Amino acid sequence: MSAGPRHVHIETFGCQMNEYDSELVRALLKREGFVLTADRECADVILMNTCAIRENAHTKVYTHLSDLKALKKSRPLVVGVLGCMAQNLKEELTKQEPLVDLLAGPDAYRQLPMLIQNAVHAQEQGGQAKALAVDLPEYETYDDIIPARIPGVNAWIAVMRGCDNFCSFCVVPYTRGRERSRDPQGILDEAARIAGEGFKQITLLGQNVNSYRSGDWDFARLLTAVADTPGIERVRFTSPHPKDFPPPLLEAVVFHPKICKHIHLPVQSGNDRILDMMNRTYTRREYLALVDRIRSMNPCMALTTDIIAGFCSETEAEFEDTYRLLEEVRYHSAFIFLYSERTNTIAARKYADDIPQEAKSRRVTALVDLQRRISAERNREYLGQTLQVLVEGDARKSSLQAMGKSDGNITVIWEKTDVQCGPGQMVACSIYDVSASTLYARATRPSEPSPPKMEQSCTNIVQS
């Protein structure tokens, strides 16, 4: 290992909260003199920020770890596992994975510089000292750390960490600990700094973001205050729980011109017995009543969801309840997951994971096919309309095309020759073709910032 500053490469898996946490880790390491590198080949230290939420996330991390074996044989290298897997699988990872030198759970990142130094030192002495930091301080919110963000259009702010909901399938309460909210002033200062750095969109993050509470600040008040930050064009939030949608929050989302008209509303199942076993705390009827309430305030609100198919003891008839719920709500899009049992969860302890893999896959496929059809139909509703689009950059498939997101978070693509624009700008896109995932448009003109017209029922649509 070379003398001088250590070069650290971070690979991030999983959710947006993990992306945000990697930004915190980058800031913490930079502060201590480490150099961050995008190139794993020239790194002295490789850190993997991991996700444990589903089986495939877990498998992906193991595959990447085994990829590192050859690299570690060829030169001195410290390998660290951060995040939810580090927290949840400490014994397995340290005992069975000689490759791993250090582990740090999501609330232990302040200890990372010290852990890395120790691991490097041990390696230089010809040994391997396993370094572990996986305790969960109930209070850690990293309030004083300014994340080292990669410049772009969207900046994330974690407003709360952890979760107290204990949905029976979910490992998050165990890997990320108890729910705690950040001080609102710290969040608003961060929003102002982000706007000053040129970001145009802020996404507020939390495992259970709408249960944010700090003194007399609830999530509606926080969201509105962030959306009032000068220079910020759009504010999004993820992921909320359907149980925490009081009228002031719905009013903020519906009426504030800077808050995107999109609500991610994870339902998980359309059947009451399964919802109860999942400990979701709402019934199908209550959930549908919330959807009705949202749509009665704004019929054009884009709704998306998460679904788990093949949860413990789910019968075909119960699965069909979920299928019919998708048909009834007609979400713009949905993330559909096959149930995978996670160590330590309530479901793992209480219920048998008894749905055969074949039946789980069949149910997932049926839901994915249905949702694809609905998404395409939903997208066809935009044909001929002109949408405000926040430009993100080049389209994935062609650098001759640009892409951005509609207010409802749908990907929009157009030819760069249509209009001169760059990331962070708003353009008006008139939609002429659609697929299940994308709107194809002519970008007609850079548009004015969205007018604060409250009476408009479809505030994400502008007339050309």
Which of the residues 235 through 264 are near ligand SF4 (CB under 6 A)?
241
Residue closer to ligand 5AD (CB basis): 207 or 298: 207
Look at residues 189, 236, 245, 190 and name the one whose alpha carbon lies nearest to residue 212. Answer: 245
- Applying CB under 6 A, does 165 fall inside the site for ligand SF4? yes
CA atoms within 13 Å, Cβ hemisphere of 68: 27
Residue closer to ligand 5AD (CB basis): 255 or 323: 323
Q: Which helix (H) or strand (E) holds 224?
A: helix 219-227
- Applying CB under 6 A, does 412 fall inside the site for ligand SF4? no
Q: Is 286 left (phi over 0), alpha (psi -120 to 50) or beta?
A: alpha
For the bound state, the minimum distance from the C-beta of residue 172 to ligand 5AD, rounded and expressed in Å, comes to 8
Strand partners of residue 409: none
Which of the residues 169 through 228 are near ligand SF4 (CB under 6 A)?
170, 172-173, 207-208
Phi/psi at 420 (5° precision): -80, 115
Q: What is the largest CA-CA distance in the chain?
A: 70
Which of the residues 169 through 188 are near ligand 5AD (CB under 6 A)?
169-170
- Asked whether the beta carbons of 344 and 305 are under 8 A apart, the reply is no
What's the rounded Cα separation, in Å, for the pair 123 and 329? 57
Residue 288's Cβ-count burial label (10 Å; 0-12, 13-18, 19+) is: middle
Q: Which of 241, 332, 342, 363 binds ligand 5AD (CB under 6 A)?
A: 342
Residue closer to ligand SF4 (CB basis): 163 or 274: 163
Q: Which helix (H) or strand (E) holds 194?
A: helix 184-196
- Applying CB under 6 A, does 206 fall inside the site for ligand 5AD? no
What does 308 interact with, of ligand SF4, ligand 5AD, none (CB < 5 to 8 A by kind)? ligand 5AD
Q: Tell how far CA 25 is from the center of its chain.
A: 17
Return the range that interacts with ligand 5AD (CB under 6 A); candidates 85-93, 212-220, 240-248, 334-342.
Answer: 334-342
What does 54 interact with, of ligand SF4, ligand 5AD, none (CB < 5 to 8 A by kind)? ligand 5AD
- Applying CB under 6 A, does 382 fall inside the site for ligand 5AD? no
Instruction: Supply angle C-alpha 287, 290, 296, rounded to 5.
Output: 145
- Applying CB under 6 A, does 237 fall inside the site for ligand 5AD? no
Residue closer to ligand 5AD (CB basis): 57 or 390: 57
Residue closer to ligand SF4 (CB basis): 8 or 277: 277
Query: Helix (H, G, I), strand (E, B), or coil: what is residue 153?
Result: coil
Residue closer to ligand 5AD (CB basis): 34 or 311: 311
For the bound state, the minimum distance from the C-beta of residue 371 to ligand SF4, rounded and expressed in Å, comes to 19
Instruction: Supply angle C-alpha 175, 202, 446, rounded to 5.
Output: 150
Strand partners of residue 234: 201
What's the rounded Cα separation, in Å, for the pair 456 and 462? 10
Q: Which residue is nearest to ligand 5AD (CB)?
A: 306
Residue closer to ligand SF4 (CB basis): 163 or 187: 163
Binding site for ligand 5AD (CB under 6 A): 53-54, 169-170, 266, 268, 306, 308, 337, 339-340, 342
Binding site for ligand SF4 (CB under 6 A): 163, 165-167, 170, 172-173, 207-208, 241
